[in-house]
Structure 1
Amino acid sequence: MAEEIDFNKLSITDEVVYDSSLAESRPLLILYGTETGNAYDYALLLAATCSRLHFKVRILSMDDYFLTSLNKLTTEKCIIFITSTLGQGDLPNNCLRFWKFMRRRSLASNLLASTYFTTFGLGDSSYPHYNYAVKKLHIRLTQLGCQEFSPRAEGDEQSPDGVDAMFVEWEKTVRKNLLNLFPLPPGIKAISEQILLPPRNPIKLLENEIIPTVGKSDITLSRSDKTMPVLTGRVLLNNRITDKSHFQDVRNLRFELVDEGSDSVKAPAYSPGDTIALYPSNTDMDVDALIQHQGWADLADTRVAIEGDITGAPGGLVTTLTVRSLIKYHLDIMSIPRRSFFSQIWHFASDERERERLQEFSTLEGLEDLYDYANRPRRSILEVITEFSSLRIPLEFLFSLIPFLRPRLYSIASPEHTDSTTPVSLELVIAIVKYKTIIRRIRRGITTNWISTLANNDLIPFTIHKTTLPVPKDHSVPLVMVAPGTGIAPMRSLILTRHQEDKLHPTEKGSLTLFFGCRFKDKDYLFSDEWPRVHGLTVLESFSRDPILRTENELPSHTKYVQDSMYRYRDILVQKLVHENGVFYICGSAGKMPREVRITLIESIKEVLDWDDEKVGVWLKDMEKKNRYLQEVW
């Protein structure tokens, strides 16, 4: 390895600019895996840092690399992996082809002996399988001879500083170790933060190609990605299923697949736990606000081309691509801006005070100020741009500056469908997001605001994403489910699937126990009318805002939270999970709920069976190993 360099002493000057010829000799590959886009955002941050060290950086999802460049894998000099973890410890869906290849037993133990690597994981310690994906990937890379040049790091959403703090420290170490491994040539210095790097994917106007797209809702249905084609659905039902007096509007959205080119309607196969990705769009009002502020009105309907390799655009780009349709369907102008946004945007402010303020938000020292300005009040990118009046973004930077508008994932709530030749409707349970920020501005979720406007027969773009929510094939195995609020969606799919199967296997019926919680019995008790019709289902309810009354035997009329109900019926828990070897599912909001449910389960078993901590711990690990303790939270 080259002589160690103290990165903090590396001299930097404003005269150094990006030299593409030098970068050609310093290739660096960043591969990411993501469901929500967070890992991709961190990949962009790291790419900018490495570009300033004169590396030629390529960013690809693992599956994009598998499809386009796998034959180059053994020739890569250095690869940095950034990935999140799905609920059961799996890699994200845009990694599965690559991971399947990497797991081949036939691969030689020295396959990647000439390649250096490091990894970073995005996780949530409220999950039992915390950062399993990056751990599995890291181990496998080592088994194939890959050489670790910088230690792995794991970010935790539950830590006080979130993932950012760990990423910043890891990035510093990666920079230092990269320069130790690949020193800069004599006389060459790193590129200053004061220098604006070239756009990752420049936008080129195709003059004389004017295509008005205002109000054309069918544009989003035609996209370019052939690896995961975006399907078209026809809305059959969009009902509110909470009481009108309740603050939370929850929708039961039902739709069917439209088979293009014919009137026949079919549906792809799916199972409990699978998700639907819906592809939203920005409102015409917000799109027009950005266009008018930036002075793009005369260019808005001009067709554009995006240069370079495009990665990270879920579903591909709409086929009718203009300045307006690019902003409407692909740029997340209503998202909260990240540090990577400010690291570029400050260059485009002509007012000196605005430039300084925007630049502060891009520094490590300005992280706290950035949080107070953007995260706490949940300011959007559109608001930032319009609040800094001197900002004028060159059109060629637009695609590289604003993050992709990503599809939102929702668990399927309808029963399993395995026959793709027969028609069926798909159902989702979606809480409409609307709230007031600390600066007293109304915020609406971009996807749920769009969903709230859908009417019967409207066409919507969607894809189905397979997950790995194990369901026992033995129908006699008891299922115990904890699912407060909209966490009921995948559990409803599981319950109705088991109900269908029980009709075919009447002698193998296993018990179903559902711990459901909401605020009010009469306002947001979702699907309460369905449960009495499901044979073998016991629903144990919790209502956090209803007054608790005393019954004749002095027991409270109900519990407040699902963990209270679990403790109240701890004998049932122990019977179903310990004595009958049942499967335990937790679905719903991340944070306190999954942790408290786990603690309650542990304490219940300790009390009923008089087990000590060690014995319960061994039992719980065995549950997780055998896929009998399953968690899906968001």
Structure 2
Amino acid sequence: MDNLVDESLVVFVCSTTGQGDPPANMKKSWRRMLQKSFPRLEDLCFSVFGLGDSSYAEFNFMAKKLHNRLLGLGAECILTRGLGDDQDDGGMDKELSVWLSKLWPALCSVMPETKKAEVVMDPPDQLLPPLCVVEVLSKPEQNGQNGQSNSHFLPAAELIHRVELCSNTRITSAEHFQDVRHIVFKFLHAPPSYQAGDVVGIAPINTDDNVNSLLQRLNWKAEDYVQVKAVGGHTGDVPIYFNKPISIFDLCKYYLDIMGTPRRYWFELLSHFAEDEDEKERLQYFGSAEGYLDVYSYCNKEKRSYLETLGDFPGVQIPIDRFVEVVPCIRPRLFSISSSQAVDASQLTITVGIVEFKTPYKRERHGLCTSWLAELPAGTQLTVSLQEGGIRLPDPDVPIVMVGPGTGIAPFRAFLQERCAQENVAENVLFVGTRSKAKDYLYGPEFEQLQAQGKLSLHTAFSRDQPHKVYVQTRISEQAKKIADLIVDGNATVYIAGNAKNMPEDVQEALRSALQAHQDMTEAEAKQYLSVMKRTQRLQLDTWA
């Protein structure tokens, strides 16, 4: 970003994380841009496209903030910002296709004549040069990393740690529709420090069956060794498996996300290698801007994978270099840590809901990481990363109100362990939401024991245990005066964790109603009060779609 003042034309693409925060690779640059000493950008032309999900309250917040900051620094916007939405019919591509169609003319309108010839308009009939080359080695060469670690995706070495799985216990009843696990890890070396509210990153791997199916489909030999290299000697940010001998089997098992859901470009690329004319035509349509709705229905709604789409187009034989180029690395899955080092510094625990569901066409789907975790036995050693989470505890003398339906309870278990190990702690209030006390009341005995000891004010909402539905927001409304007084008079910090679909907004509506009824606020004043709480970190959300 320090060189931004020397640029004349920049296109920004950014996502939003946490509570309207920048992604990890943008945090440093964003802090710099917010400084008063950051130079003016009167000579810069720009446009911004946001990667967002409207199920989150802070939809595309960073794209909006970046756009406004650039305007504030004097830069000129050449194209109205685009706000992609993963919840849209057609997904992110719906808005992206429209935005891209306007981007090229906008760029050319401000680009010097000498540069216009360099603009590539992505002709659909022309296959662009590969970004990497894959060299098949004449003889196998041993690679010490093959099959030895799940650390392929993880960040810098100082952030990763070796752990051993101590126990892997189902904590929902066998009759409950979802398998939720309480998993305990112990550190194999000197325990690093982490805080309540932090997250752990865990790398899943593909199953042998899926890898073998892919190799059979593409006629690749599992035992062949290859070396992947970037074209043109690029030495920047490349996957860890680049420039090292590795077997094709290990490349597909440990590194490539073959069970991920493809984007539109995948189909455009496959069309260049289709021998059957009907398949070629269908792939070209899926890869086109006009086909975004149909490809979203075919691929995203049904959660089809790279492997499955290859099965649907048997006439396509994609070269390994092109496959490696377009199939991304397996990404880390982040889990809230549900334990505090105040109880045991040598361990950490996570609370994992095993992802299993059926698509609109009744296809059974299983989450790559959670299904893999569910099968791991005690004694399994893994490499994990510790990362700062999006929520933080206040000082011990500040009351806290926690709202955690389902597995959203995980970080609050850590909060309570931390607070109960401290002295002179203010009130802890917890709202727990599950379907049934008998089937999925996660950590219920622990919380009830804390309540009996006077360390917790516990309010439960078991939605299916009575004829009428009861949710966490119902219980908040029942405790409206207490909660409103804690927020305003007690300066409490409020936390909401769980599914982002409806619950966070419903809970905030209950909070607004409590403030109106018991703190003599108008609807506008209550809404503004919660907005200020968010800005000052007194209202913190940890939600996911």
The question of 1:268 aligning with 2:229 is answered no
Distance in 2 separating the partners of 1:363 and 1:209: 41
Aligned to 1:521: 437
The question of 1:233 aligning with 2:155 is answered no
Q: CA deviation at 1:205?
A: 2.5
The correspondence of residues 270-289 of structure 1 with structure 2, limited to 5 A, is 270-289=194-213
The correspondence of residues 291-330 of structure 1 with structure 2, limited to 5 A, is 291-297=215-221, 300-308=223-231, 309=234, 321-330=246-255
Q: 1:479 aligns with which of 381, 391, 400?
A: 400
The correspondence of residues 463-612 of structure 1 with structure 2, limited to 5 A, is 463-473=385-395, 475-501=396-422, 505-506=423-424, 509-534=425-450, 535-548=454-467, 560-612=470-522
Aligned to 1:64: none
The question of 1:89 aligning with 2:13 is answered no
Give 3-state SS (helix, strand or coil) of 2:137's partner: strand
Give the root-mean-square deviation of aligned CA atoms: 3.0
The question of 1:170 aligning with 2:99 is answered yes
The question of 1:375 aligning with 2:300 is answered yes
Q: CA deviation at 1:319?
A: 6.1
Letter in 2 for 1:289: S
- For each residue in 1:455-476, what CA deviation from the matched residue of structure 2 results, as whole angstroms up to 9, or x when unmatched? 1121112111213423222x22
Q: Which has the higher mean CA deviation after the structures are superposed, 185-194 or 336-345?
A: 185-194
CA contact (8 A) 1:219 1:319 kept: no
Q: CA deviation at 1:207?
A: 2.7
The question of 1:391 aligning with 2:330 is answered no
Letter in 2 for 1:540: H
Structure 2 gap segments, 5+ residues each = none
CA contact (8 A) 1:225 1:317 kept: no
CA contact (8 A) 2:197 2:393 kept: no
Aligned to 1:451: 373
Letter in 2 for 1:123: G
Q: CA deviation at 1:580?
A: 1.7
Q: 1:150 aligns with which of 79, 84, 97?
A: 79
- Sequence identity of aligned pairs in percent? 32
CA 1:591–1:225 in structure 2 vs 1: closer, same or farther (change >3 Å)?
closer
Aligned to 1:120: 49
The question of 1:78 aligning with 2:9 is answered yes
Aligned to 1:36: none
- For each residue in 1:304-331, what CA deviation from the matched residue of structure 2 results, as whole angstroms up to 9, or x when unmatched? 1221447776777696633222211222
Q: CA deviation at 1:631?
A: 1.1
Distance in 1 separating the partners of 2:101 and 2:158: 36
CA contact (8 A) 1:213 1:301 kept: no
CA contact (8 A) 2:205 2:254 kept: yes
CA 1:516–1:71 in structure 2 vs 1: closer, same or farther (change >3 Å)?
closer
Aligned to 2:136: 205
- For each residue in 1:29-75, what CA deviation from the matched residue of structure 2 results, as whole angstroms up to 9, or x when unmatched? xxxxxxxxxxxxxxxxxxxxxxxxxxxxxxxxxxxxxxxxx776554
Letter in 2 for 1:518: T
- For each residue in 1:527-546, what CA deviation from the matched residue of structure 2 results, as whole angstroms up to 9, or x when unmatched? 01111333421111111222
Distance in 1 separating the partners of 2:210 and 2:79: 43
CA contact (8 A) 2:497 2:542 kept: yes
Q: CA deviation at 1:337?
A: 1.8
Distance in 2 separating the partners of 1:321 and 1:75: 42
Q: CA deviation at 1:185?
A: 5.0
- For each residue in 1:585-609, what CA deviation from the matched residue of structure 2 results, as whole angstroms up to 9, or x when unmatched? 1100011111211222222332334
Distance in 1 separating the partners of 2:460 and 2:46: 50
TM-score (norm: length of structure 1)? 0.78
CA contact (8 A) 1:516 1:541 kept: yes
CA 1:186–1:525 in structure 2 vs 1: closer, same or farther (change >3 Å)?
closer
Aligned to 2:29: 98
CA 1:100–1:151 in structure 2 vs 1: closer, same or farther (change >3 Å)?
same
CA contact (8 A) 2:433 2:463 kept: yes
Size of the alignment, in residue pairs?
Answer: 537
Q: 2:349 aligns with which of 402, 427, 431?
A: 427
- For each residue in 1:489-524, what CA deviation from the matched residue of structure 2 results, as whole angstroms up to 9, or x when unmatched? 1111112111122xxx23xx2111111111110111
The correspondence of residues 8-157 of structure 1 with structure 2, limited to 5 A, is 74-107=5-38, 109-110=39-40, 112=41, 114-125=43-54, 127-142=56-71, 146-157=75-86
CA 1:347–1:363 in structure 2 vs 1: closer, same or farther (change >3 Å)?
same
Distance in 1 separating the partners of 2:124 and 2:461: 54
Aligned to 1:43: none
CA contact (8 A) 1:482 1:586 kept: yes
Distance in 1 separating the partners of 2:299 and 2:281: 16
CA contact (8 A) 1:224 1:318 kept: no
Give 3-state SS (helix, strand or coil) of 1:369's partner: helix
